Amino acid sequence: MLNKVKWQPEWVGTKMSQKDFLTIEQCTPNEVMSLLTDALHMKKLQKQGIPHPYLSGKVLGLIFEKSSTRTRVSFEVGMLQLGGHAIFLSSKDIQLGRGETASDTAKVLSRYVDGLMIRTFSHSSIEEFSQNATVPVINGLTDLHHPCQVLADLLTVLEHKGKLNGLKMCYVGDGNNNMAHSLIEGAVKVGMHISVASPVGYEPNADILYQAKLDAEHTGGSVTVTSNPVEAAKAADVIVTDVWTSMGMESEQEERLKAFQPFQVNLELCEHAKKDYIFLHCLPAHRGEEVTADIIDGPHSVVFDEAENRLHAQKAILKALMD
């Protein structure tokens, strides 16, 4: 039998300086580390079977314009474990999908719920929600950023490596996608050195890269971009990749398969990393494309720990914004 401890409501944890959680870049380094600390705390409570209803009676609206497995389930379960409720709102089922503006939808839903999570295409859409909502807005994914996933990634690295500052992260693949952008932002916030390897023409967004390099000057981290995956993988503590063709880019699939073939994460590439490297992938993965099965299913892979940590990282975000 577990020795259950009475829930301690005096636990405070992180309070965000921003109303919303749209990007990692908007957070201070201390806020990122505090969110990770809170996530570890609540993960421990959950594993010990200790209730932690910090959001008792609160309701989170979940707006999905893109399909999802991990995002939907982790947010719904997270709100349940925090003592609240989540309402799934497909764009096909609400007036947003029939032409109602994002601003009107945000204003109306703010009268009903205590927070909104949105998984959509254009980042400008979630910014419009943020500007018009009077409740916290959380970015569940846009074409430009994926901050919830990257907070879970950092949590996973912290658990397996015991630290973040000074580690080298290697990202191989499409540098101009949401994972690459949020990884760059997150890595420099915690003092990591991130090396991005992508084909010419698929480099990260220039504005995001510029801001990350400015942030790195204050945290001791660094960002490098190269078209040589071997160079990026040298002495890496963490290797990360993502699918080569994201949702909405299906028409580019054949072109991308050719461009990214030299950027596959395989045994040969990973030989250049440190012997105790860990492998991350946000999932779903296309085994045989961006990563070989012997890597993602191998001893260095922590992708399912990473997937679980979506739950714990997001609970920290929800508590920080909605408590």
Of the listed 123, 193, 310, 312, which one is catalytic?
310
Of the listed 149, 237, 270, 312, which one is catalytic?
149
Helix, strand, coil % over all residues of the chain, rounded to 5? 45, 15, 40
Residue 247 known to bind ligand: yes
The gap between the terminal CA atoms of the chain, to the nearest Å, is 31
Active site residue 149: yes
Residue 125 known to bind ligand: no
Active site residue 146: yes
Q: Rounded to an integer, what distance in angstroms lies between the CA atom of residue 100 and that of residue 289?
A: 39
Residue 246 known to bind ligand: yes
Active site residue 119: yes
Residue 287 known to bind ligand: no
Q: Which residue has the tokens 């996608």?
A: 177
Q: Rounded to an integer, what distance in angstroms lies between the CA atom of residue 37 and that of residue 222?
A: 23
Q: Rounded to an integer, what distance in angstroms lies between the CA atom of residue 204 and that of residue 145?
A: 11
Residue 178 known to bind ligand: yes
Burial of 7 (0-12, 13-18, 19+ CB in 10 A): middle
Tokens of 156: 């996973």
Of the listed 38, 114, 143, 242, which one is catalytic?
242
Residue 170 known to bind ligand: no
Of the listed 123, 146, 181, 312, which one is catalytic?
146
Residue 301 known to bind ligand: no
Residue 23 known to bind ligand: no
Instruction: Give me the sign of the Cα torsion angle 35, 40, 45, 49.
Output: positive
Active site residue 181: no
Residue 148 known to bind ligand: yes
Of the listed 281, 282, 312, 314, which one is catalytic?
282
Residue 146 known to bind ligand: yes
Residue 142 known to bind ligand: no
Of the listed 52, 119, 123, 300, which one is catalytic?
119
List of residues 6+ apart from 76 with CB closer than 8 A: 62, 86, 88
Binding residues: 68-71, 95, 119, 146-149, 178, 242, 246-247, 282-283, 310
Binding residues for L-ornithine: 178, 242, 246-247
Binding residues for carbamoyl phosphate: 68-71, 95, 119, 146-149, 282-283, 310
Residue positions annotated with a catalytic role: 119, 146, 149, 242, 282, 310
